[in-house]
Structure formats: C-alpha cells, structure tokens
Amino acid sequence: MAVRKTKEPIILVTNDDDITSPGIKNLVEAVKDLGKVVVVAPDSPQSGMGHAITIGSPLRMNKMNLFGEVEAWQTTGTPVDCVKLAVDKILHRKPDLCLSGINHGANHSINVIYSGTMSAAMEASIEGIPSIGFSLLDYRYEADFTASRHIVRTIVSKILKKKLDKHLLLNVNIPSVPMDEIKGIKVCRQAYAKYDEDFDERTDPHGKKYYWLTGEFKNFDKGKDTDVWALQRNYVSVVPVQFDLTNYTLKKQLEKTKLFS
C-alpha cells in the first residue's frame, strides 16, 4: 500500500495501451522522483474503449514488479475501472494527481471522445483529482519517447507547483519529432474533426461476411487556436477538458423557441 512521505504528492499513473507498453514505462521514468508514484493499469490493450466501465463481470488485480521500486498493479478492467480500483482498493484515498499515458498515438480533436487514455484522466477529474492525459503522435510500439519524457516532466513540474482546481483536466498531445524541433507548448481548443468511416468488408472461410472498422481522419476546423493546428506546426498542444457536456448555446435556443412548452 502507498506510504506517503511528508508533503510528497501521490501520483497515480495509468494508461490504455496496457501496463507493459513502452509509453507507460516512459511516463513513470519521467515523473518517478516528483512524488510517490503508484501504477494501476490494464493487463490488456484498451484503446478505443472510451469511458467504458465493467458492470457485468467482476474485476481482478495483481501486484506486479515492472517498474523497479515503483508500486504497480495490473487489473482486468478498463482504464476507467483502473482509476476507480486505485482510489477505492489500492491507495484508499485520492491521489494528488493522476497521469494517463503516454499513449501510443494521437488523442487530439475528436479522439478525446473515443480515447481510453483520456477517459481514465476524465474519471479522475470527476472524482476531484487533477489529471493529465499524454499522447505521442506515433502509434508504433517502438516509438521514440525521448522528447515526450522531457515534455511530461516540464508540464507535471509546473502543475505540481500551482494550486490548481481539483477538476483540472488536460489533454496533452506531443508531436513525433526530436526535442530540438518542438516549438513550445500551446494552450488550445479541441478542433472540430471526425472520421469518415469505411468498413473493410471481407468473407470468412465459411462464406459469411465480416467487417473491419477503418476510417479517414478529416479536420473541418480552419481555426488557428486548435490542437490540430498547433501539432501540425510542431507545438505541444494542451487542451483543457470538461465533463459538463451541456450545450449551453443550444439550451438557450430551445428555451427561447419554447419548443417543448
């Protein structure tokens, strides 16, 4: 169980690629001397799981020896389950900060909705734990996380020095270039983009059809204040995220038209 030195922040680390992925190892390396780090992460890949929780089956967790002296647990749950298990069954308290990632692949623009990495961070934010999701724009297992480690350390150090809102939630995306090509860190809004689906239709050996989800990313947003704009120019993008999904503009419109009165 986590034992806390005086004033040393407890940092919960999770991800969606699974506990053995290089991304989470690099995240732990980047922050392990900034506080008491505890890892609670899925035992299998959970990309694209969104904000899924496990309600129809029970969960299991096992202590692992994967990160040297850093306490680590793998669970059979989703990224969101991991945050819930960490708070209730491992830490027995809220950590001071939750970090999710480093994801192998982009989570900018509309990807925030589908991302297990960002859903874990959002779950922490709902619980009142400041939280940051990190993603590198390189989906490969052998991606180079050297610059990412530096960026993560810079951002986490700055955040730990500030008195921040307990619901703070940041979506950080890092361009896949060496450190000396990174132009800086930009606070952005989420670009309006979507995927144009194109299912790959195949026939199995028994003559029955099956479909693989594929899709082409389309950015419809011409703004110069978006995450996609910043990343295309080799800036690190930081999008502050919220879990109040109310569309207040549409709410006013509907109230004005009295459509449902």
Residue closer to its own copies, measured from CB, 13 or 83: 83
Q: Which one of 64, 139, 189, 219 is in contact with its own copies (CB under 8 A)?
A: 189
Q: Which is nearer to its own copies, 181 or 225 (CB)?
A: 225
Which of residues 5 and 211 has its CB atom nearest to its own copies in the complex? 211
Choose which of 30, 82, 112, 143 interacts with its own copies (CB under 8 A).
112
At its nearest, how many Å lie between its own copies and the CB of residue 3? 21
CB 68 to its own copies: min, Å:
25
87 binds its own copies (CB under 8 A): yes
Residue 107 in the binding site for its own copies (CB under 8 A): no
Spatial contact of 185 and 148, defined as CB atoms under 8 Å apart = no
Is residue 146 a contact residue for its own copies (CB under 8 A)?
Answer: no
> CA-based angle 150:156:160, to the nearest 5?
145
- By CB under 8 A, what part of segment 4-43 binds its own copies? none
CA 23/CA 12 separation, integer angstroms: 15
Looking at the Cβ atoms of 69 and 212, the one nearer to its own copies is 212
What type of residue is 94?
K
Number of residues engaging its own copies in binding (CB under 8 A): 76
Q: How far is CA 237 from CA 3, 104, 120, 158, 187, in A?
A: 34, 16, 19, 15, 6
113 lines the binding site for its own copies (CB under 8 A): yes
One residue of 3, 211, 216, 224 binding its own copies per CB under 8 A:
211
If DSSP codes are grouped into helix, strand and coil, which group holds residue 86? helix
156 binds its own copies (CB under 8 A): no
Do residues 104 and 140 lie in contact, with contact meaning Cβ atoms separated by under 8 Å? yes
Residues in the chain: 261
What is the closest distance, in whole angstroms, from the C-beta atom of residue 4 to its own copies in the complex?
Answer: 21
Place of tokens 């800086």: 184
175: three-class secondary structure by DSSP: coil
Tell me which H or E stretch contains 23. helix 22-31
Distance (Å, whole) CA 15 – CA 27: 10
